[in-house]
C-alpha cells in the first residue's frame, strides 16, 4: 500500500519482507562511505535493522524511512523518508538509492514528495538534513530541494562533524 506516489515511483512502508533489498542497499559502497556501516551482513541482520530502525520509527512517530519502488513493476530502488533523531530538534529527511538508479532524478522525485508529505500531511514547519561535507551528490540534491546550509553538527560525542541543512516552510 503506497503512502504516496509520484509520476515514476511508489513510496510505501518497509516490511520484514524487504530484508534482501535492505541487505544490498546497506552494503553498497556509497552507502558505506557516506552514511556508514550498519553492520548488516545477513538477511537476519537486515530484519533486525528493519525492526529496530524504520519499523520502530513508524510505531513511535508515525513516519520513518520508506521504500521507493519503480513503476510499473514495483522494483525496489531505494529508501527515502523522514526521521526523528533524539539528538536533533527537527525532523530530518534521508535517502539512499542503489547505484544503478542514481543520476536519473529518482531521488529528487521521491524527496520532493517526501517534503510535501511532511509539510502537508504531518504539518511540519521545518525539515532539516544531515550529510557528510564530502557527499556532493547529497548536498546538491538537498540544495535542489531548497534546503540551505546552517551549521556543522555532531550526532554523537567524538563523531565527525557533519553539515546540517534546513528548510523552513
Specify whether the CB–CB gap between 130 and 109 falls below 8 A.
no
Cα–Cα dist 106/109, whole Å: 5
35 touching ligand COA, by CB under 6 A: yes
147 touching ligand COA, by CB under 6 A: no
Cα–Cα dist 47/10, whole Å: 22
CA dihedral 106, 112, 118, 123 (to 10 degrees): -160
**Site track 119-138 with ligand COA (rule: CB under 6 A), x = hit:** ------------x---x-xx
**Site track 71-110 with ligand COA (rule: CB under 6 A), x = hit:** ------------------------xxx----xxxxxxx--
Residues engaged in binding ligand COA (CB under 6 A):
30-31, 34-35, 95-97, 102-108, 131, 135, 137-138, 140-141
Amino acid at each position: 500500500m503506497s503512502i504516496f506516489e509520484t509520476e515514476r515511483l511508489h513510496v510505501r512502508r518497509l516490511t520484514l519482507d524487504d530484508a534482501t533489498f535492505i541487505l544490498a542497499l546497506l552494503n553498497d559502497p556509497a552507502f558505506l562511505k557516506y552514511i556508514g556501516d550498519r553492520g548488516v551482513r545477513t538477511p537476519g541482520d537486515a530484519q533486525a535493522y528493519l525492526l529496530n530502525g524504520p519499523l520502530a520509527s513508524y510505531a513511535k512517530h508515525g513516519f520513518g524511512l520508506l521504500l521507493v519502488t519503480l513503476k510499473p513493476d514495483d522494483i525496489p530502488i531505494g529508501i527515502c523518508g523522514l526521521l526523528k533523531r533524539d539528538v536533533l530538534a527537527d525532523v530530518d529527511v534521508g535517502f539512499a538509492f542503489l547505484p544503478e538508479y542514481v543520476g536519473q532524478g529518482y531521488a529528487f522525485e521521491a524527496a520532493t514528495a517526501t517534503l510535501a508529505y511532511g509539510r502537508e500531511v504531518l504539518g511540519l514547519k521545518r525539515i532539516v538534513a544531515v550529510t557528510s561535507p564530502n557527499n556532493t551528490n547529497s548536498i546538491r540534491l538537498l540544495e535542489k530541494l531548497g534546503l540551505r546550509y546552517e551549521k556543522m553538527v555532531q550526532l554523537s560525542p567524538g563523531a565527525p562533524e557533519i553539515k546540517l541543512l534546513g528548510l523552513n516552510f
